Amino acid sequence: LSLESRLRHAVDHEEFELHFQPLFDMQGLGIIGAEALVRWPQEDGSMLSPGTFIPLAEETGLIRTMGDWILKTAARQLQSWHEAGHALKMSVNLSLKQLKSEEDVARFHAIVHPFIDPSWITLELTESMLIADPTAIEALMEKLNEYGFEIAIDDFGTGYSSLSRLQHMPIQTLKIDRSFVDQIDPAGKGAAMVAIIRQMAESFGLLTVAEGIENEVQYQHLLEHGVNFGQGFWYGRPVPDAEFRGTFL
Contacts with ligand G by CB under 6 A lie at 21, 37-38, 49-51, 54, 70, 93-95, 154-155, 211-214, 232-233, 238
* Beta strands at 229-230 and 207-210: parallel, antiparallel or unpaired: parallel
Q: Toward Na ion, which CB reaches closer, 116 or 181? A: 181
Other beta carbons within 10 Å of 14? 12
Pick from 154, 213, 218, 222 the residue near Na ion by CB under 5 A.
154
Q: Which helix (H) or strand (E) holds 137?
A: helix 134-146
Residue closer to Na ion by CB (options 104, 127) is 127
Cβ 35 to ligand G, closest distance in Å? 7
227 φ, ψ (degrees, to nearest 5) = -65, 135
155 binds Na ion (CB under 5 A): yes
Q: Which of residues 6 and 97 has its CB atom nearest to Mn ion in the complex?
A: 97
Binders of Mn ion in range 6-35 (CB under 5 A): none
Question: Shortest CA distance to 49 belongs to which of 78, 27, 17?
Answer: 17
Q: Which is nearer to ligand G, 74 or 191 (CB)?
A: 74
Closer to Mn ion by Cβ: residue 93 or 173: 93
Compute the CA torsion angle 180, 183, 189, 193 (nearest 10 deg).
20
- Site size toward Mn ion (CB under 5 A) is 3
Q: Within positions 73 to 132, which residues make up the interface with Mn ion, using CB under 5 A?
A: 93, 124
Name which of 19 and 225 has its Cβ closer to ligand G. Answer: 19
Can residue 124 be called a binding residue for Na ion (CB under 5 A)?
no
User: Judged by CB under 5 A, which stretch of 38-46, 94-102, 147-155, 200-208 contacts Mn ion?
Assistant: 147-155
- The entry of ligand G, Mn ion, Na ion, none near residue 128 (CB within 5 to 8 angstroms by kind) is none
* DSSP H or E run through 34: strand 31-41
Nearest in space to 69 (alpha carbons), one of 18, 118, 141: 18
Q: Estimate the crossing angle of helix 3-12 against helix 62-83, to 10 degrees.
A: 40
Does 154 engage in binding with Mn ion (CB under 5 A)? Answer: yes
Residue spans of alpha helices (H) in 13-92: 50-60, 62-83
Out of Mn ion, Na ion, ligand G, none, which partner does residue 37 contact, by CB within 5 to 8 A per kind? ligand G
Whole-angstrom Cα distance, residue 201 to residue 192? Answer: 14
Residues that bind Mn ion (CB under 5 A): 93, 124, 154
